[in-house]
Chain A
Amino acid sequence: MQDRPDAAELAQAVLPGIDDPRLRFRTLVAANGLGILEREIALGAPLVRREVGSLARLLGHADPLPDDPGELRRRAVDLNRELAQRIRAGDTPEGALAHLVATVADKLRIASPRYLERYR
Chain B
Amino acid sequence: MSVGAPPLSASTLSVELRERLVPIFGADIAIEQLALLAGGASKEAWALDLRTPQGTRQLLVRRAGGGVIHQGTLTLEDEHRLLEVAAAAGVRVPMPCGYLGEIVGRPAFVSERVSGETIGRRIVQRPELADARAVLPAQMAEELAKIHAIPAERVPFLGGVGAHDVLGRLTNEVDHLEDAHPAIELGLAWARGRAPERNETVVLHGDLRVGNLAVTATGLGHVLDWEFGHRGDPAEDVAWPLVRAWRFGVDQLRLGGIGDVEPYLERYNALTGRHITLASLDYWEIVGNLKWAIGALTQSRRHLSGQQRSVELAVLGRLAAEMEFELLHLLERAA
Specify the main secondary structure of chain A where it touches its partner: helix
Chain B residues near A29 (CB-CB < 8 A): 311-312, 315
Count residues of B near A (Cβ-Cβ below 8 Å): 30
Chain B residues near A77 (CB-CB < 8 A): 179-180
The chain A residue sitting closest to B244, CB to CB, is A118
Contact present for B186 and A108 (CB under 8 Å): no
A87 to B2, CA, bound (A): 35
Chain B residues near A66 (CB-CB < 8 A): none
Chain B residues near A25 (CB-CB < 8 A): 1, 38, 312
Min distance, Cβ B5 to any Cβ of chain A, angstroms: 15
With A21-B38, A36-B318, A112-B322 as known contacts, state yes or no: A26 contacts B311, CB within 8 Å.
yes
Chain A residues near B36 (CB-CB < 8 A): 22
A31 to B287, CA, bound (A): 31
Which one of B2, B318, B325 has the greatest number of beta carbons of chain A within 10 Å?
B325
Min distance, Cβ B135 to any Cβ of chain A, angstroms: 27
Contact present for B315 and A100 (CB under 8 Å): no
B198 on interface, CB distance cutoff 8 Å: no
Contact present for B325 and A105 (CB under 8 Å): yes
A–B complex contacts, Cβ < 8 Å, 15 sampled: A21-B38, A26-B311, A26-B312, A80-B181, A81-B179, A81-B180, A87-B189, A90-B189, A100-B324, A103-B183, A104-B324, A107-B321, A108-B322, A112-B318, A115-B322
Q: Please give 9 more A-B residue pairs, beta carbons under 8 A apart, in addition to A84-B185, A88-B185.
A: A21-B38, A26-B312, A84-B181, A87-B189, A110-B318, A111-B319, A111-B321, A112-B321, A115-B322
